[in-house]
A = this chain, B = another copy of it.
Amino acid sequence: MPQSKPVHYDDAGPEVRAVYDDIKATRGIHDVNNYWKHIANHSPTLKRTWETAKEVMASGALDSLVKEMIFVAVSASNGCEYGLRCHTDTARKQGMTDEMLGELLAVVGVASQAKILANGYQIPVDKDY
């Protein structure tokens, strides 16, 4: 019972449908994925989350592939399986190779190691920063 139910297009109100339509048009897909269908249980969250994602993930000062790879890096760090599945897939479609994924995850590892050692040795920040 606690697990949320997906909101399908046919059962959705006009606000939710408008967001679904925009997602499908923007991404060139025929149906939205589970993520949007579940957060549609609270339509202000759906609207805000989509508008933020649409603005933030679009190419800008950083191109879209770099953004997808940052998303993958953060999800590998914080353990979000759903985000990893979707955005590893998207990044691969935009050109991320096995070599690039390998290097990306290695950087995440170095950053995590740095946190552990900086904490563990209680290292003060250098004065010239």
Q: A42-B101, A75-B115, A113-B109 are in contact. Are A124 and B34 (CB under 8 A)?
A: yes
A17 CB, min distance to chain B CBs, angstroms: 18
Q: How far is the CA of A66 from the CA of B55 in the complex (A)?
A: 21
A92 CB, min distance to chain B CBs, angstroms: 6
Q: A105-B117, A122-B81 are in contact. Are A92 and B1 (CB under 8 A)?
A: yes
Q: Are B72 and A69 in contact (CB under 8 A)?
A: no
Number of copies: 6
Q: Could you mark each residue 32-66 of chain A with 1 if its beta carbon is under 8 Å from any beta carbon of chain B, else 0?
A: 01110011011011001100110111001110001
Q: Could you mark each residue 65-94 of chain A with 1 if its beta carbon is under 8 Å from any beta carbon of chain B, else 0?
A: 011011111111111111111111100100
Q: Are B2 and A88 in contact (CB under 8 A)?
A: yes
**For residue A35, which residue of chain B has the nearest CB?**
B123
**For residue A72, which residue of chain B has the nearest CB?**
B120
